[in-house]
Amino acid sequence: MENIIINTKDLTKTYKVGDIDVPALKHVNLSIKQGEFVAIMGASGSGKSTLMNLLGCLDMPTSGEYFLDGHNTSKMSKNEYADIRNQKIGFVFQGFNLLPRTTALENVELPLMYDRVDKIKDQHKQAIEALKRVGLGDRMHHIPSQLSGGQQQRVAIARALVNEPAMILADEPTGNLDSRTSVEVFNLFQKLNEEGITVVMVTHERDFASFAKRIVEMRDGRVIKDYFIKDRLNAEEELKRIEAEATIEE
Amino acid sequence: MKAKVILKVATKSILKSRLRSLLTALGIIIGVAAVVVMVAIGDGAQLKVEQQIASLGTNLIIITPGASNTGGVRGGAGTFNRFTFDDVDKITTQSTLAKAVSPVVMARAQVIGGIGNWFTMVQGVSPDYLDIREWPLESGEFFTERDVTSRNKVCVLGTDVVKNLFPNEDPIGQTIRIRSVPFKVIGVLTSKGQSSVGTSNDDVILAPSRTVLDRLAGGKFISSIQVSAQSSEKIPATIEELKGIMREAHKLTQGEADDFTIRDQSDITEAATETSRVLTILLASVAGVSLVVGGIGIMNIMLVSVTERTREIGIRLSIGARSSDILIQFLTEAIVLSLTGGIIGVLLSFLITYLLNHYTDQAAYIKPQVIMIAFGFAGAIGIFFGFYPARKAAGLNPIDALRYE
């Protein structure tokens, strides 16, 4: 039996603006298994960011239930929310969100500092391993301003990996990157996914969504389409194609 | 989080903005240094006063004319009495507890002799006076009871007078003229330094009391009687006895108020130490205000820092920091800042008191407990003024904090 990482039942979120209720998410039922690579798509206002926040345990649903890796998160306290973010989820944001004036290694070590159960024994070694995994073994002592956008995002991915989470949640991970660097980042995601890591990402670019295995399309707070991609793009091949094009142009 | 990790994180973020941290700590540095130095100056002054009072002579009791509560209350104007030799004789003969008794007759006079002339204080006293004041002679000898009764014109000079009249020669055996009356110098006093009111103790000429009263004070009475008790424990009993003798000598009936005041050193000590204590409190509270202002400075900077680092807080929250982790982090930063400021402030105060003691005549003395109090106060200010910004940081919503630009 395959392990189910995400399972939502009638997940609903309503924001109150003054006296008016603004529904952002309406009865979403979603199930994601271990080892999947899901792209959540939709226009702005479709509710995909709200869904991300709920899946990331950054926000609590108005009603409905959310099981993360077998834990029912609906009845959790704020502290348990913090702990589950630390143990089960690795975040990758659009704006990288690295601590400025802090080395790549220290940034990657950050989640381990808040590890209350001491899941990871040798924290320093674990952080170095994570950076090597994203190909930044030689940039460990650089601060974010000394790194390119792509490198910064890879540091962020290493930070998301370091705690051995159940899944990586990526919110528009390539929104601040040029297309070539974006493909490089997706190449990394695909490699990590092949190694067995579950990846859930939000994007609004259909081209990039094709790097995933499954697409969940949203509109007006509901899931309108949920399907597996047949002609999935391989980021490594894409990279080779881009390089070949660049050589011809020269 | 472990304490070590918390301290490391706090120290790191303080060191990341060195200039700002320094400016923040500056308020505490100046505050702590000011408190310690001010209290040190107060304590130094107190110490000096105590030393000066000790230099008056131990077990000293002074009887002065007039009640301590003079004024309209005692309607009998003119009842203000000065003492006579009868009073002195009665004390000498009747008192069993007094070790030594001396009248003091004051006269200010122009003195001619040696290389020129000098205006000074002439005190008419008894041979016991040097015992009472614990004031040894440097050279020569002191006058005797015989000199007093036969009103001999002999005198003993203080070192200031010697300096001004006989800078280059031995004054003993020389004759000086006090208001045209020739006196023979028979001794020189040792130097006693400054008095508690800032005048020199050494600018004085001592002469037999009756000689001064007749020849110089012209009809004036004895201005005070100085008595020394046998020991400091016997001072209260001695005062009681003296009071009885004086009341009888002045024929005061029961219910009539004293027309004299008896004071011992504890009164003077108390008054003087009380004065310097009030001074210390005053100085310390002024300095304490600057410490509080320094604390508000910390709060201000920490609040700015929370706003500025909203995104950092969002990142920390999103990767699993609890609200309490954020609270502790910011609180620790404030405490580390203020304690570091406290340490630097104490070091600075050592430097300032060193300079004060070496380059000015202002005595400053740092008591160890003052350092502890200033240090504890700095820590308390860190907690007090760091708590509000820290709580503000901990209360942030991770989504809003991450989105903050």
- pLDDT tens profile B298-318: 888 888 888 988 999 999 999
Distance from CA of A239 to the nearest CA of B (A): 31
Nearest beta carbon to residue A53 from set B9, B324, B399: B399
Given a cut of 70, whether residue A2 has pLDDT beyond it is no
By C-alpha distance, which of A116, A149, A150, A109 is closest to A130? A109
pLDDT over 90, % of chain A: 66
Closest-CA residue of B relative to A102 is B16
Q: Pairing state of beta strands B181-189 and B260-264?
A: unpaired
**CATH code for the domain in which residue A172 is found:** 3.40.50.300
What is the distance between the alpha carbons of residues B400 and B405, in angstroms, rounded to a whole number?
10
| Interchain proximity B399–A59, CB inside 8 Å | yes
* Best to test chain A binding among B308, B312, B322 (most A CBs inside 10 Å): B322
| Interchain proximity B320–A163, CB inside 8 Å | yes
Distance from CA of B273 to the nearest CA of A (A): 56
- Indicate the helix (H) or strand (E) that contains A171: strand A167-171
What is the distance between the alpha carbons of residues A71 and B35, in angstroms, rounded to a whole number?
57
Nearest beta carbon to residue A114 from set B16, B319, B402: B319
By C-alpha distance, which of A3, A1, A64 is closest to A196? A3
Tokens 């002439």 belong to residue: B122
Distance from CA of A113 to the nearest CA of B (A): 7
| Interchain proximity A86–B320, CB inside 8 Å | yes
Nearest beta carbon to residue A101 from set B1, B16, B314: B16
| Interchain proximity A58–B9, CB inside 8 Å | no
B201 vs A185 pLDDT, higher one: A185
- Which conformational region is residue B57 in: left (phi greater than 0), alpha (psi within -120 to 50 degrees), or beta? left
pLDDT over 90, % of chain B: 14
Instruction: Please give the tally of structural domains in chain A.
Output: 1
The boundaries of the domain holding residue A167 are 4-249
When pLDDT is averaged across residues B113-139 and rounded to a whole number, the result is 84
**pLDDT tens digits, A46-92:** 999 899 999 999 998 999 999 998 889 988 999 999 999 999 999 99
**pLDDT tens digits, A100-146:** 889 999 999 999 988 888 888 888 999 999 999 999 999 999 999 99
Closest-CA residue of A relative to B323 is A79
| Interchain proximity B16–A53, CB inside 8 Å | no
Nearest beta carbon to residue B319 from set A53, A79, A91: A91
Alpha-carbon torsion angle A152, A155, A156, A160, nearest 10: 170
* Best to test chain B binding among A94, A97, A120 (most B CBs inside 10 Å): A97
| Interchain proximity B321–A82, CB inside 8 Å | yes
| Interchain proximity B312–A99, CB inside 8 Å | yes
Task: Enumerate the residues of chain A whose CB falls inside 8 A of the CB of residue B394.
Answer: none
Nearest beta carbon to residue A97 from set B16, B311, B321: B311
Given a cut of 50, whether residue A154 has pLDDT beyond it is yes
Nearest beta carbon to residue B320 from set A59, A83, A101: A83
C-alpha dist (Å) from residue B114 to B158, B172, B180, B184, B204 = 14, 11, 14, 12, 16
Given a cut of 70, whether residue A1 has pLDDT beyond it is no
**Average per-residue pLDDT in chain A?**
91
Task: Enumerate the residues of chain A whose CB falls inside 8 A of the CB of residue B316.
Answer: 110, 114
- Which tokens in the block code for residue A122? 């040798």
**pLDDT tens digits, B31-89:** 899 889 988 988 888 887 777 766 666 678 888 877 544 444 554 433 445 677 878 88
- The pLDDT of residue B272 is 74
| Interchain proximity B320–A114, CB inside 8 Å | yes
Nearest beta carbon to residue B319 from set A78, A79, A110: A110
Given a cut of 70, whether residue B403 has pLDDT beyond it is yes
* Best to test chain A binding among B4, B13, B318, B328 (most A CBs inside 10 Å): B318
Task: Enumerate the residues of chain B whose CB falls inside 8 A of the CB of residue A58.
Answer: 318, 398-399, 402
C-alpha dist (Å) from residue B14 to A167, B329, B343, B383 = 34, 11, 16, 16
**pLDDT tens digits, A27-49:** 999 999 999 999 999 988 899 98
Q: Does B66 touch chain A (CB under 8 A)?
A: no
- Which tokens in the block code for residue A99? 């601590």
Task: Enumerate the residues of chain A whose CB falls inside 8 A of the CB of residue B315.
Answer: 97-99, 110
